């Protein structure tokens, strides 16, 4: 425990803690100024608790993860890994007592409840962090409450419920600078999840070059959500919805309300897979042209359409052409989420600066028909004629590279035989465009075989095998 200890550094340490109740890898309390944790690995026990285990964080009490305390000013956590537990990084701060908190280039893995969470913090930088492996269906990636001053750039976060959830940004005081949210990939991966990005009462913030994605089947989940924005600039972002709006703005983006002001909204891309309307802007907007007409001066240079993501559930890198060269340059942002240089004159929308693939990945997996020992599956090919497909299948959860393969298949459907009855399977498909190259692998698609019919039943008046006429009422001839 760090208790009022200034100028302490941890470097190249592995810290493990297998406790199951009220446990921390590192707990900080009572003002630990100028602390650094660098190139360390903190591993907690696995848990299904939402409140018991924290890799590193602050709390005023050893019996709760939520005791607000003065953790310290000038805290830097970098180049480290935080594995398992309920929280990866969790700081509960008393009334903005702490300033200049930095978490950069860290990996958060398999944290059950929150990868990163803070409350009442002042002047925070979150940069270059990756977070994945959360299994709790309502788990948040980054959960940030009551914050004054935020720079959040280059983070890649995949969480089941919210990719990033921010409330009261610069709402409770004057920011030391205009806050910046840029070059992030925030994915809500769960089937019952919510937004890739949620921002409530966010003031004085620039939102540039992000990818906000939801995979949720819920019609109350959107790619990105803004409520009561004031002084907000939203440009060069990808908003990707699945079952409803790609983007949701609760307030009219062109007028001043009691708790909101106009949003500088342009050069964005919007796509919804199954939504009846493209977006919500103080009312449903059926498509981009309607939205532009209803909110004059908004989204003048924005685009809509399928960006063709590598994998919407886990990877927001882009293969399609619609985002390419469609952004506007932001002088202060010269690189993308991967450290690639942004084009100085025609950059790309979203977190990824990229070259469109000449061979696009397939999508829209379906099961046409399934039997006890075979199934016919299909996929959609965006490449046109001349494409063949490499298919790999196996039991549900198999690792690609270990399954059964079929190469150079000419059709967008395939009947797979020799399967086991009443079994779940998955399959992956890779498009091969010949001279156009090979696409990234798509999948998994899923299918299940049916129960097998009864076998080796012989009836004197029926047919031997799995198809028969029943003679159960004739006990003398039934065997």
Q: Give strand pairing partners of 147.
A: 121, 169
Q: What pLDDT does 94 receive?
A: 84
pLDDT reading at 463 higher than 60: no
Mean pLDDT of 445-462: 73
Q: Contact, 188 vs 162, CB < 8 A?
A: yes
Query: What per-residue confidence (pLDDT) applies to 339?
Result: 96
Q: What is the pLDDT of residues 383-399, one digit of tens each?
A: 988 899 999 999 999 99
State yes or no: pLDDT of 33 exceeds 90.
Answer: yes
What is the reported pLDDT for 455?
56
Nearest to 28 by CA among 55, 53, 54, 4: 4
Q: So what's the pLDDT on residue 461?
A: 55
Q: Is residue 212 scored above 50 in pLDDT?
A: yes
Give the pLDDT band of residue 452 (cuts 50, 70, 90).
Answer: confident
pLDDT over 70 for what percent of the chain? 95
Mean pLDDT of the chain: 92
Task: Give the chain as a 3 state SS string.
Answer: CEECCCCCEEECCEEEECCCCCEEEEEEECCCCCEEEECCEEEECCCCCCCCEEEEEECCCCCCCCCCECCCCCEEEECCEEECCCEEEEEEECCCCCEEEEEECCEEECCCCEEEEEEEEEEEEEECCEEECCCCCCCEEEEEEEEEEEEEECCEEEECCEEEEEEEECCCCCCCCCEEEECCEEEECCCCCCCCEEEEEEEEEEEECCEEEECCCCCCCCCEEEECCEEEEEECCEEEECCCCCEEECCCCCCCCCCCCCCEEECCEEEECCCCCCEEECCEECCHHHHHHHCCCCCCCCEECCCCEEECCCEEEECCCCCCCCCCCCCCCCECCCCCECCCCCCCCCCCCCCCCCCCCCEEEEEEEECCCEEEEEEECCCCCCCEEEEEEEECCCCCCCCEEEEEECCCEEEEECCCCCCEEEEEEEEECHHHCECCCEEEEEEECCCCCCCCECECCCCCECCCCCCCCCCCCEC
Other residues' Cβ atoms within 10 Å of the Cβ of residue 125? 17
pLDDT higher than 70, residue 466 = no
List the one residue out of 375, 401, 405, 379 whose CA is nearest residue 390.
405
Question: Does the pLDDT of residue 468 top 50, yes or no?
Answer: no
Q: Is the pLDDT of residue 479 over 50?
A: no
User: In this model, does residue 474 exceed pLDDT 60?
Assistant: no
pLDDT band at 473 (very low <50, low <70, confident <90, very high): low
464 has pLDDT over 60: no
Categorize the per-residue pLDDT at 349 as very low, low, confident or very high, splitting at 50, 70 and 90.
Answer: very high
Percentage of the chain lying above the pLDDT 90 cut: 82
Q: What is the arithmetic mean of pLDDT over 243-260?
A: 95
CA-to-CA separations, 376 to 278, 411, 430, in angstroms, rounded = 33, 12, 17
pLDDT for 126-164, tens place per residue? Answer: 999 999 999 999 999 999 999 999 999 999 999 999 999
- Give CA separation, 477 vs 456, 457, 471, in Å: 15, 12, 8
DSSP bridge partners of 19: none
Look at residue 221 and tell me whether its pLDDT is greater than 50.
Answer: yes
Q: What is the pLDDT of residues 300-331, one digit of tens each?
A: 999 999 999 988 999 999 999 999 999 999 99
Question: What is the pLDDT, as a whole number, of residue 456?
Answer: 53
What average pLDDT score do residues 164-174 get?
90
Q: Which pLDDT band holds residue 469 (cuts at 50, 70, 90)?
A: very low
**Residue 289, pLDDT above cutoff 90:** yes
Given a cut of 90, is residue 79 above it in pLDDT? yes
Q: What is the average per-residue pLDDT within 447-470?
A: 63
* Rounded CA separation 461/437 (Å): 60
Instruction: Give the CA distances from residue 239 to residues 225, 275, 303, 354, 398, in Å, rounded to whole numbers and listed in that order.
Output: 10, 13, 11, 17, 31
With bands split at pLDDT 50, 70 and 90, how would you rate the model's confidence at 462? low
Neighbours of 350 (CB within 10 A): 32
């Amino acid at each position: 425990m760090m208790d009022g200890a200034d100028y302490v550094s941890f470097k190249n340490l592995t810290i493990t803690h297998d406790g199951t109740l009220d446990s921390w890898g590192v707990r900080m309390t009572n003002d630990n100024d100028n602390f650094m944790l660098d190139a360390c690995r903190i591993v907690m026990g696995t848990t299904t608790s939402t409140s018991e285990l924290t890799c590193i964080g602050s709390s005023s009490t050893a019996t709760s993860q939520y005791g607000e305390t003065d953790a310290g000013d000038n805290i830097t956590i970098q180049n480290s890994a935080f594995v398992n537990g309920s929280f990866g990084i969790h700081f509960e701060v008393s009334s903005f007592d702490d300033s200049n908190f930095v978490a950069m280039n860290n990996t958060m893995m398999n944290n059950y409840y929150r990868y990163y969470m803070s409350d009442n913090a002042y002047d925070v930088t979150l940069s270059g962090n990756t977070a994945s492996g959360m299994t709790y269906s309502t788990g948040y990636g980054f959960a940030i409450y009551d914050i004054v001053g935020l720079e959040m750039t280059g983070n890649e976060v995949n969480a089941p419920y919210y990719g990033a959830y921010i409330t009261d940004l610069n709402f409770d005081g004057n920011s030391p600078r205009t806050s910046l949210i840029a070059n992030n990939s925030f994915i809500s991966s769960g089937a019952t999840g919510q937004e890739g990005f949620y921002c409530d009462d966010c003031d004085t913030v620039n939102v540039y070059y992000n990818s906000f994605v939801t995979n949720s089947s819920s019609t109350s989940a959107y790619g990105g959500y803004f409520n009561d924005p004031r002084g907000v600039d939203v440009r060069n972002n990808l908003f990707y919805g699945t079952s409803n709006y790609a983007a949701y703005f609760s307030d009219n983006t062109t007028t001043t309300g009691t708790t909101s002001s106009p949003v500088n909204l342009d050069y964005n891309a919007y796509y919804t897979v199954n939504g009846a309307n493209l977006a919500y802007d103080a009312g449903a907007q059926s498509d981009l042209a309607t939205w532009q007409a209803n909110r004059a001066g908004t989204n003048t240079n924005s685009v809509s359409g399928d960006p063709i993501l590598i994998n919407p559930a886990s990877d927001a890198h882009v293969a399609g052409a619609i985002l390419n060269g469609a952004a506007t340059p932001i002088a202060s942002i010269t690189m993308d989420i991967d450290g690639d240089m942004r084009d100085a004159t025609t950059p790309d929308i979203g977190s990824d600066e990229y070259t469109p693939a000449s061979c696009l990945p397939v999508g829209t997996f379906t099961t046409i028909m399934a039997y006890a020992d075979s199934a016919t599956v299909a996929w959609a090919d965006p490449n046109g004629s001349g494409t063949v497909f490499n298919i790999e299948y196996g039991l549900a959860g198999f690792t690609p590279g270990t399954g059964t393969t079929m190469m150079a298949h000419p059709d967008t459907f395939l009947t797979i035989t020799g399967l086991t009855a009443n079994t779940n399977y998955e399959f992956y498909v890779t498009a091969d465009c010949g001279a156009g190259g090979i696409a990234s692998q798509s999948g998994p698609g899923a299918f299940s075989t049916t129960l097998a019919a009864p076998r080796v039943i012989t009836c004197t008046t029926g047919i031997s095998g799995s198809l028969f006429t029943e003679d159960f009422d004739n006990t003398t001839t039934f065997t």
